[in-house]
Structure 1
Amino acid sequence: MSNITEKLGIKVETNPSEEKLTQLGVKQWSKWGCPPSKFPWTYDAKETCYLLEGKVKVTPSGANESVEIGAGDLVVFPKGMSCTWDVSVAVNKHYIFE
């Protein structure tokens, strides 16, 4: 069962169905990966991504709490968000900008 939550402006859907992933065309999206690391990031456009592997704590600038995302999550980051990515398990994801 998928479960959609929104926290600090970040929308996370856990275990989306294969049907939904096919509908979105996730497998055709570009791929990106990184080793465990910590870095700042700003979204110039809305990004939707699907994590194939990894574990990340995303902390939006100015927020004193973070959003944890991991393998099997479909995540939407809003345009204009600045945040810090704290990657504890190497990430491999499909992503698309709107």
Structure 2
Amino acid sequence: MNIEVLGIKVEKNPPESKLSQLGVRQWPKWGCPPSKFPWTYDAKETCYLLDGKVKVYPDGGKEFVEIGAGDLVEFPKGMSCTWEVSVAVDKHYKFE
């Protein structure tokens, strides 16, 4: 299932074949404990969450996108947002 909300693209539980095609398992990893912080994307980021639960609030609105374990997510270049992490995050990521 693919959804796009507020410019953020989310693919729920993509098949392993797609993850291998993208080389996701070779991407660097990043993680953080439950926290809340602002973030701006200087480049397009694609990430795959191994663990965690996050509400991402793009600047300028009350709406949010919820992402979690098993989600392949694409954030557009130039987006500013706030990350509200409720369950510690562990993810693979790639900037373009």
Query: In structure 1, which of residues 83, 92, 95 is the aligned counterpart of residue 90 of structure 2?
Result: 92
Q: Give the letter for the 1:30 counterpart.
A: P
Given the two structures, how large is their TM-score scaled by the length of structure 2? 0.99
Structure 2 regions of 5+ residues with no counterpart? none
How far apart are the structure 2 equivalents of 1:79 and 1:59?
Answer: 15
Q: 1:67 is matched with which residue: 65, 68, 73?
A: 65
Q: Which runs of 5 or more residues in structure 1 are unaligned?
A: none
> Where does structure 1 differ by over 3 angstroms across 4 or more consecutive aligned residues?
none
TM-score, scaled to structure 1: 0.97
- Secondary structure at 1:79 match in 2: coil
Given the alignment, which residue of 38, 41, 50 partners 1:43? 41
**Matches of 1:95 and 1:82, distance apart in 2:** 17
- Paired residue total: 96
Cα offset, 1:22, TM superposition: 0.2
CA RMSD, Structure 1 to Structure 2 (Å): 0.3
Structure 1 residue 5 corresponds to structure 2 residue 3? yes
